[in-house]
Amino acid sequence: MPVTDKVCAISDIVGSLESGMTLGIGGWGGRRKPMAVVRELLKTDVGNLTVISYGGPDVGMLAAAGKIRKLVFGFVSMDLVPLEAHFRAARQAGAFEVMEIDEGMLQLGLKAAAQRLPFLPTRVGFGSDVLTTNPELRTVTSPYEDGETLVAMPALPVDVAICHANEADALGNSRISGPDPFFDEWLCRAAQRAFLTTEALVETSAFNDPLIALQMPIERSLVQGVALAPYGAHPTSCAPKYGMDIAHLREYSGAAKGGWPAYLERYVTGKGLDAYVAEVGGADAISALPLPVF
Amino acid sequence: MSDFTLAELCICCAAEAFRGDGEVLATSIGLVPRLGAGLAKLSFEPGLMITDGEAYLVSEPVPVGPRGGYQPKIEGLMTYERVFDIIYRGKRHAMVTPVQVDRFGQMNISVIGDYATPKAALLGVRGYPGNTVSNANSMFIPNHGKRTFVAGEVDMVSGVGYNPARWPGGVKPKFLDLRRIITNLAVMDFQGPNNCLRVISRHPGVSFEEIQDNTSFELVAMDGLGVTPAPTAGQLKLIRERLDPHDLRATVLPGNPPGIPAAGR
């Protein structure tokens, strides 16, 4: 049976999303976020979303647009701009439900879903307000001699996962060439469907290298569609190609004080990715953004 | 040495917190903890594992700030996913800066105020719940005061502390291990009665009373409480020439005060 050509458009990815879904968003804080998809989603009337994310401006923008019903998270931060102003404003207003859990618990929840298990046991959560603020979290007793009581971190199934890769081919093979693949793999494994955006569409032969293969945590059977989105992580970083756009992130943060409509008007409304890239200074300017030093 | 800043003193205290750790991952969030871990590695804990702040283990501390031509000396990989593996195995010592700390050593980095509609939403609990029940933890608090060291409990217990009322069945979590708190006034540990906070050294010119007056709960003083030892010339050289050549540490404490206050304090 021939394998399918999975190449699609950013708008196809967003077109497959429905209100009420659970969305898993890849990347980490201010790094390698599928922002082109997030911006495209802002243009739609899809809402009421449950969002699972190692949060950055993806969460902030969806929160500012009122699209989040429930946020499952351990943090929301833009790294070098530590606090996410739009997330904070919405959180402080009680605009969405929260399942605030330890980052490691988030990973366990994704791993449980990925393994089609109801939960995975952990000690994490005990003694903290994670258990009191999430009364749905249950405990389980070890059936072995130790008899230890553990937190049963429930599976966090995802309807649609969206991640941004450095390279992908039409079959859904992909490569993350930055130093850290983050938890994209687990979001994809926990998801019914996963979509990738990519800096570059390449021939499959581009992956014919044992060292490159080590940078390919997401096998193609996990992937439903691949959309070309050069500079699609901006204003977050996409190492090694470009760094965070700190100036843009500050401008975006500033927009939390009444400037959100103007931000949308300038960078989102009626703009595809090419027009967005031009508006933020062009491909050369993004390419010249230095990789962040931590 | 008598010519040093309070930030430099804090860096040396942060380094001391890692003494005896051996081959563990030092996760140091923020400039003073990071410089402290680097100083410990270069001076008395060569086995410490440290990162470039991103995803690689490095065999020597990466100087902070602009690196010029310096290339990190990679010795291994430490992606975020692997950090959690090492947390659960316990071979890690984290030094962090929470927004609130209470008498139990419980830490808050989530929200200030009511949980549903907080006065201030901060980062979220991050890895604090897991860190504190899995590996050693220390803190650096640059602004020792009652807003940070709060009465009662912190608003949202993100990091677990020595509070039996919160432990399942009242049993201490097996791997709970709070080590030291370094502040701009003092160094403390949790070796007081019932693991209460104990001042183990006061910085030059600071009295125990001043430390107590800036804390919302009762502290105990170590027997024979003395003054925090000044950095050695060797430590200052490492900090100034290797670890922080751009003097980013001058920005950590308001006014970059000297380590030994001017006469008259």
Per the structure, the count of domains in chain B is 1
Whether the predicted pLDDT of B263 surpasses 70? no
The pair phi, psi for residue A284, each rounded to 5°, is -65, -40
Instruction: Check residue A164 and give its pLDDT.
Output: 99
Residue B186 inside a domain? The answer is yes
Residue B262 inside a domain? The answer is no
Contact between B80 and A28 using a beta-carbon 8 Å cutoff: yes
Bridge-partner residues for A81, per DSSP? Answer: A78
Instruction: Check residue B126 and give its pLDDT.
Output: 97
Q: How far apart are CA B215 and CA B219, in angstroms?
A: 8
**CATH number assigned to the domain comprising residue B204:** 3.40.1080.10
**Under 8 Å between Cβ of A77 and B130:** no
The pair phi, psi for residue B235, each rounded to 5°, is -65, -45
Kindly identify which residue of chain B lies nearest to residue A81, measuring between CA atoms: B123
Model-wide pTM > 0.90: yes
Residue B53 inside a domain? The answer is yes
- The share of chain A scoring above pLDDT 70, in percent, equals 99
Residues in chain B closer than 8 A to A139 (CB atoms): 168
Average pLDDT over residues A155-173: 98
Residue B1 inside a domain? The answer is no
Kindly identify which residue of chain B lies nearest to residue A75, measuring between CA atoms: B124
Burial class of B167 by CB neighbour count within 10 A (0 to 12, 13 to 18, 19+) = middle
**Under 8 Å between Cβ of A176 and A100:** no
User: Residue type at A236?
Assistant: T
Residue B26 inside a domain? The answer is yes
Contact between A180 and B54 using a beta-carbon 8 Å cutoff: yes
Strands, E, within A67-157: which ranges? 68-73, 97-100, 119-122, 138-141, 149-154
Residue B263 inside a domain? The answer is no
pLDDT in tens, B176-226: 999 999 999 999 999 999 999 999 999 999 999 999 999 999 999 999 999
CB pairs under 8 A between A and B: 132
Nearest to B197 by CA among B182, B176, B207: B182
Kindly identify which residue of chain B lies nearest to residue A139, measuring between CA atoms: B168
Instruction: Check residue B264 and give its pLDDT.
Output: 45
Contact between A179 and B54 using a beta-carbon 8 Å cutoff: yes
- Per-residue tokens: B237: 């050289």
Whether the predicted pLDDT of A1 surpasses 90? no
Average pLDDT over residues B3-27: 98
User: DSSP state, A135?
Assistant: T
Among A105, A128, A179, beta carbon nearest to B55: A179
Buried b (16+ CB within 10 A) or exposed e, B227-237: ebebbeeebbe
pLDDT in tens, B93-125: 999 999 999 999 999 999 999 999 999 999 999
Distances in Å between the Cα of B103 and the Cα atoms of B57, B96, B100, B152, B197 are: 34, 17, 10, 7, 7
Instruction: Check residue A219 and give its pLDDT.
Output: 98
Residues in chain B closer than 8 A to A182 (CB atoms): 79-81
Residue B265 inside a domain? The answer is no
Contact between A76 and B88 using a beta-carbon 8 Å cutoff: no
Distances in Å between the Cα of A278 and the Cα atoms of A198, A240, A283, B27, B254 are: 18, 21, 7, 39, 41
Instruction: Check residue A3 and give its pLDDT.
Output: 62
How many CA within 13 A on the CB side of residue B4? Answer: 25
Count the Cβ atoms, other than its own, within 10 Å of residue A248: 18
Residue B258 inside a domain? The answer is no
Contact between B125 and A100 using a beta-carbon 8 Å cutoff: yes
Domain A7-100+156-284 has CATH 3.30.70.270: no
Instruction: Check residue A80 and give its pLDDT.
Output: 85
| Average pLDDT along chain B | 96
Q: Nearest CA to CA, how far is A182 from chain B (Å)?
A: 6
ipTM of the complex model:
0.96
What does the radius of gyration of chain B's CA atoms come to, in whole angstroms?
18
Contact between A128 and B159 using a beta-carbon 8 Å cutoff: yes
Sequence ranges of the domains in chain A:
7-100+156-284, 118-154
Residues in chain B closer than 8 A to A183 (CB atoms): 80-81
- Per-residue tokens: B43: 């001076």
Q: How far apart are CA B229 and CA A22, in angstroms?
A: 55
Strand order in the sheet with B74-77: B50-51, B56-58, B74-77
Tell me the residue range of the domain where B132 lies: 6-251
